[in-house]
Amino acid sequence: MEYFLRFKKARKHQEQMIHDIYESLKEGKNILVNAPTGIGKTDAALSASLTFAKENNIDIFFLTPKISQHRIVVESLLETNKKFNLGIKFVDMVGKQNLCINERINNMTREAFYTACTKALKEGKCRYFNNTKEYNPGEDMVMEASYGHAKFFDACFNRGLCAYEIATKIAKDSDVIIADYAHILNPNTRKAFLKKISHSLENAVVIWDEAHNIIDLGNSYMSGSISTEVVKRANSELEKLGKAMDITYIAFEMKKLAERKLKTCEEAFIGINDMPEEVRDNIDGLIKLLDAASLEYIDSKLGKRPAMLHLSNFLKRWVMEDDSIARIITKVGENIRISIDCLYPEKIIDILKQPYANIFMSATFTPIEMYSDMLGMNGANLRNYQSPFPKANVAAFIDDAVTTKYESRSLTEYEKIANRIIEIKRGIPGNVAVFFPSFSVLKSVFRYMNNEHLIVQREYMKNIEIDELLKKLSAAKNAILFGVMGGSLSEGVDYKNNLIKGIIIVGIPLAKPSLELKARIDYLDNKFDGKGDNYAYKIPAMIRVIQAAGRAIRNEKDKAIIVFMDKRYTWKIYHSMIKDIVSASKLVNNKEIGEFWINDVETKNLQQI
């Protein structure tokens, strides 16, 4: 069988993956694919689905959680189209705000942007939109669209056209639509989007890249929070607009509720009816008023991020009755916070039943059965693939001499961890990244490090600061990078050209005990036959561990040592998730670490420096 693949030859395991996906589509079944970095997931999924789509006249949606992941899809489609002369039309859709050329509106907050754009449309005040009404994109614009959203934005900007509107016009005739998760997953966006582009999911294969994000994203669409501080800010915005209305009673009632519920604790569950009566009785009126005032506030250039809009969106969510939602009141200093926490987005993921078939891909579908459960995909085909990189390029160990288990935390333990890091680093000729379960543990261990080559991540670092930190690391030959798991240095960053030769994972990043976590464990326990603790607590922590551990090996030439530093990694539940990395239950041994590098040419060069 010949598949449409842009490369001459499929990579290791890629051919099998293409075949499995194609066969799954033929059966009309969903498939979950757990494929490590390097297999070429994007090309494999596109190759199988393009081949199937051409034979069966079916559309393809390629969805990603981040815009940055669109680029490779565009490249793959362009080259495959050219190689096989397929004549496939495709468009790269990103969120409306990213395709908005109206400078007065496009730099607002997300919430404010949509309200302002809708208002401008209704009132006929967006000239870029008005320009698109009679405009039918010709071949030139279809071509521009196939080069990706960034180039397309420029093309529309030069012509004074709303890029979003034109992209949706092109999408109507497109066979493949590259888009964000939100276009399909977010119920507020989906209906209008599909209608606008005249496509249906029933006649489409939907590819979900990095699909381990679906559940969290789904939860976020139904969650939100406000605090007494937000209410106060919203009230002062109303004052600035000269409105007679005073909403400080909401904050007052929140405080009264806190006095009742938080006598002996810092957080408590509350119910839908715990919202103050004055708010409940007139919630629709209040939402309308806040929405209208928010627009007036933005129009008057008083600010781009009105707290009024945040409050109004929270109230819209508050009225949702759903047993998968926990409502929690918390005291943070003088501030009272009320949150709505979606524990499992059953209603959101219901949409996954609509497409002809779904292809869910991830490098961290571990264990894949959990994701099949969580995505409601019982009966789907489940496939795991091995890493295409040589196994001999990695040596992984468990260091069971220490732990960050809460009850065992002490200054002595932190000092021991620091000493273990220093000792292990001695055997690794090059940069080493050490990832901690939290900033608190990082700081505690940091005190015992006495090394001038330390590069340290701080809390709340901006992207630009993280880039600086990475630049420093790139310039270093023998540095130790300190970061946290689940952070920007341990996920999503490609440490190219074997920039790090060792990774030490300190502890297990289990979530802090909280009412939300308890509610989620209980909910999933009930839903998935006693698996709540694993699904909500232990496995998500281990996914962060696997993400961090995977940073060093990004191509077939990279070599690295990985050390899982905590005695709990020898426990069955945790060990079972790293057993493919740590081939045997190897405990760390400095001699073995040294020997691993003996024949490495670069290492020899480094030692001569």
Q: Which stretches of the chain bind ligand SF4, using CB under 6 A? A: 96, 100-102, 105, 117, 120-121, 126, 128-129, 162, 164-165
Residue 165 or 175: which CB sits closer to ligand SF4?
165
Residue 96 or 327: which CB sits closer to ligand SF4?
96
Closest contact distance (angstroms) between CB of 99 and ligand SF4 is 7
The token pair at 16 is: 């099998």
Closest contact distance (angstroms) between CB of 93 and ligand SF4 is 13
Closest contact distance (angstroms) between CB of 188 and ligand SF4 is 16
Residue 117 or 171: which CB sits closer to ligand SF4?
117
Distance between CA atoms of 228 and 336, rounded to whole angstroms?
A: 5
**CB of 436 within 8 A of CB of 503?**
no
Closest contact distance (angstroms) between CB of 221 and ligand SF4 is 21
Residue appearing with tokens 């009673």: 249
φ/ψ bin of 93: left (φ > 0), alpha (ψ from -120 to 50), beta (otherwise): beta
**CB of 596 within 8 A of CB of 552?**
no
For the chain, the 3-state helix, strand and coil shares in percent, each to the nearest 5, are 50, 15, 35
Q: State how far Cα 262 lies from the chain centre.
A: 33
Q: State how far Cα 344 lies from the chain centre.
A: 16
Distance set, CA 18 to CA 22, 71, 361, 378 (Å): 6, 21, 12, 22
Closest contact distance (angstroms) between CB of 300 and ligand SF4 is 18
* C-alpha atoms less than 13 angstroms from C-alpha of 396 in its C-beta half-sphere: 21
Residue 117 or 560: which CB sits closer to ligand SF4?
117
Residue 294 or 358: which CB sits closer to ligand SF4?
294
* Burial class for 272, CB neighbours closer than 10 Å (0-12, 13-18, 19+): middle
Closest contact distance (angstroms) between CB of 62 and ligand SF4 is 22
Closest contact distance (angstroms) between CB of 61 and ligand SF4 is 21
CA nearest to 222, candidates 96, 64, 110, 344: 344
Residue 158 or 526: which CB sits closer to ligand SF4?
158
Residue 96 or 383: which CB sits closer to ligand SF4?
96
Distance set, CA 31 to CA 1, 28, 79, 278 (Å): 20, 10, 25, 50
CA-based end-to-end distance of the chain? 53
Residue 7 or 157: which CB sits closer to ligand SF4?
157
Closest contact distance (angstroms) between CB of 170 and ligand SF4 is 15
**CB of 525 within 8 A of CB of 532?**
yes
